[in-house]
Amino acid sequence: MTWEEVRDADRPRSVAILPVGAVEAHGPHLPLGTDVLIAEAMANACAERLAERGLTALVLPPLWYTAADFADNFPGTVSVSGGTVSDLIGQVAASLGRHEIKTLAIANAHLDPEHLRALRSVVDDPPEGARIVFLDLTRRHVAEQLTAEFRTGACHAGRFEGSVVLAERPELFRAEIARDLGPVPSSLSAAIREGVTSFEGAGGPRAYFGWPADASADEGRATVATLGALLADAVVGEENA
């Protein structure tokens, strides 16, 4: 969009959607930017759902860099502090608010604990006049609507994420490598609760968990639709609260 197109949009009834991911290791078969690809797909699907409900959805350029401590030992991973992330998102929300766009929805696809703390922090203490909506995929009522692999907690660079990459950017999925990857059923969520702080410590020495060989584009498309619908429901639900 041009600035004049944004000027002429119905800004008071607009929702800005910020895709948020990370640059971090995703096994030997998925790109470092996998989370961003998923977040952008989620944001676009949410925008379609909001448009159906009469709202104007503005998908922002993604935030690529965030806390990614679990993958810090893997070359290519770029990690910044959680405080940097919450400060940046807060400033983005404040800037949008100065142009009458009061609602910022975060399409998040990165589940590092420090990153999630940063998002929760800015949602709990947004800039004055701003409303920040964050769909937390780790909450039980949300996870229960996602795939079986996701619910196991063994879902980093596995079937769940690989399927979305196959649906969105199939040329980035290293299929020949993925076919030969055995399952790593160790639950990252359980490891986090036990105090583990790295992929290696959680049982993922190649930075993947789950069943990557089982990924499919059909599952990816269904997952994107579900993620978009859940985020749109969160936006509308909070707007009507």
pLDDT tens-digit series, residues 156-167: 999 999 999 999
Rounded percentage of the chain residues whose pLDDT exceeds 70: 98
* DSSP symbols for 37-56: HHHHHHHHHHHHHHHHTT-E
pLDDT grade, residue 237 (50/70/90)? Answer: confident
The encoded tokens of residue 153 equal 């907690």
Q: CA end-to-end span of the chain, whole Å?
A: 31
Report whether pLDDT(241) > 60. no
CB atoms within 10 A of CB 121: 17
Mean pLDDT of 15-38: 98
Report whether pLDDT(117) > 70. yes
Q: Are 149 and 155 in contact (CB under 8 A)?
A: yes
What is d(CA 110, CA 143) in angstroms, rounded to the nearest whole number? 14
Report whether pLDDT(238) > 80. no
Mean pLDDT of 194-223: 97
Report whether pLDDT(118) > 80. yes
Report whether pLDDT(151) > 80. yes
Question: In the chain, count of helices (H) and strands (E)?
Answer: 10, 4
Mean of the per-residue pLDDT values of the chain: 96
Could you say which architecture CATH assigns to the domain 3-233? 3-Layer(aba) Sandwich (3.40)
Mean pLDDT of 134-140: 96
Handedness of CA 221, 222, 227, 230 (dihedral sign): positive
The encoded tokens of residue 216 equal 């499919």
Q: Is 162 helix (H, G, I), strand (E, B) or coil?
A: helix
The whole-model pTM stands at: 0.96
pLDDT tens-digit series, residues 59-83: 999 999 999 999 999 999 999 999 9
What is d(CA 16, CA 200) in angstroms, rounded to the nearest whole number? 37
pLDDT for res 239: 57
